[in-house]
Amino acid sequence: MWHDNRQDKQWPGPRGWKNKNQGGWGKSSKKWDNSEYLSELKFEDVPRPKKPRKYTVSIAVPASILEETCLKDELRTYVVGQIARAAVIYSIDEIVVYDDMCSQKRGTTNAAHVTPKSAGDFLEMMRTLLEYQECPQYLRKHLFQYNAYLRSVGVLNALNSPHHLRFNQWCEYREGIVMEGGGKNLSYVDVGLGVDVSVDHKLKPGLRVTLKMPPETKEMKKPYGVVVSPDEPREKAGYYWGYTVRVAHSLSEVVTGCRFPGGYDLLIGTSDKGENIKQTDLPEYSHAMIVFGGVDGLEVALEADEKLEATEPLQMFDIYANTCPLQQSRTIRTEEAIVITLAVIQDKLVHSGTK
């Protein structure tokens, strides 16, 4: 059976997936339903992509933008929401939130009682909001408890990602949460269908999992599924299946903390001091990382990181690119740069990604 490493996250409060003992806006105690609900429901089939995708694309975003360019929590929340939207629109598989100032002197705080401004913890705010946005709506009540970081989520626009399925949409894959109950070798999973799906393994209640269900499940009174890797929908069927979120406390950790085997084999830095991306060809890659700078650019992040031997961006990145060479505004905000860059570079990424 696939081991979903999301159960290994031990972040307290709002910082990650939660187990049944952490509380939330809802409870993970939904009982098994033997009704004929599924057989009576008319499903809308989700179109299957033309081919699977092996390569991945990641972006790194500095959390300092929430402190330096946003004055209120509502605006900070909206900006993070726009970053999440851009990530989904352009099929980004991983978002790394990093501290471009390497300021690790901040103490731990309880997010339920403080604001990000008083805690100074914009890394956690950005991570929490990105994870909240990525999570399918029907799972949020189980996985997130209310806290200061989520006070303004009403301003967020829906992602409408392929894995954010409505109850009447059919896809062979679905995200779910393991419910209470079951047997020695049996667990029930809520996948947003109104009826729990059984799996033939005993799993920890409160664990988020990815299920694959056979077509006949649509007609079953007691549907069943198989737990698979969260990467399988992309690698075997070609579905875009959301992004993961990782925190890095420096620019160097963006690279060294890579979760993919072999690390990133294509590093792209973005700056108005870089080369015109339209005149640059990308080499073939398996895992690409695109790094964005804060208000003062990547040069400042490079200088602040004492672990880096590189003194110039060109020494660290395979490509140092200017994705908007004709800009007329004196500055481009980071959230704007993300949209511009991904729009300009998408075709190149698709063409050069490992087939």
- CA neighbor of 126 nearest in space, from 291, 278, 335, 276: 335
Mean of the per-residue pLDDT values for the chain? 86
Q: How confident is the model at residue 41 (pLDDT cuts 50, 70, 90)?
A: low
Structure-model confidence comparison of residues 46 and 291, the more confident one: 291
Residue 105 has pLDDT above 90, yes or no: no
Structure-model confidence comparison of residues 48 and 107, the more confident one: 48
Residue 107 has pLDDT above 90, yes or no: no
Residue 92 has pLDDT above 80, yes or no: yes
What contacts 24+ positions apart, CB below 8 Å, involve 89-92?
89/342, 90/57, 90/342, 90/343, 90/346, 91/53, 91/57, 91/240, 92/57, 92/58, 92/59, 92/243, 92/342
Domain boundary among 189, 207, 237: 237
| Residues in CB range of 247: below 8 A, 6 or more apart | 96, 97, 98, 123, 124, 127
Same domain, 324 and 285: yes
Residue 336 has pLDDT above 50, yes or no: yes
- Contact between residue 82 and residue 156 where contact means Cβ atoms under 8 Å apart: no
CATH number at 332 reads: 3.40.1280.10
Residue 338 has pLDDT above 50, yes or no: yes
Mean pLDDT, residues 241-264: 95
Candidate from 22-36, 151-165, 222-236, 243-257 with smallest mean pLDDT? 22-36
What whole-number distance in Å separates Cα of residue 66 and Cα of residue 72? 9
Q: Which domain holds residue 303?
A: 57-161+244-352
Mean pLDDT, residues 174-202: 92
Domain boundary among 217, 237, 257: 237
Same domain, 344 and 272: yes
Structure-model confidence comparison of residues 98 and 113, the more confident one: 98
Confidence at residue 331, expressed as pLDDT on a 0 to 100 scale = 87
Report the percent of the chain where pLDDT is more than 90. Answer: 65
Q: Which of 35-49, 227-241, 319-333 has the highest mean pLDDT?
A: 227-241
Same domain, 261 and 348: yes
Residue 19 has pLDDT above 70, yes or no: no
- CA neighbor of 152 nearest in space, from 136, 123, 132, 124: 132
Residue type, 133: Q
Residue 23 has pLDDT above 70, yes or no: no
What whole-number distance in Å separates Cα of residue 73 and Cα of residue 150? 9
Q: How many domains does the chain have?
A: 2
Mean pLDDT, residues 50-65: 96
Same domain, 186 and 233: yes
Confidence at residue 62, expressed as pLDDT on a 0 to 100 scale = 95
Residue 242 has pLDDT above 90, yes or no: yes
Mean pLDDT, residues 235-263: 96
Domain boundary among 207, 237, 267: 237
CATH number at 9 reads: 2.40.50.140
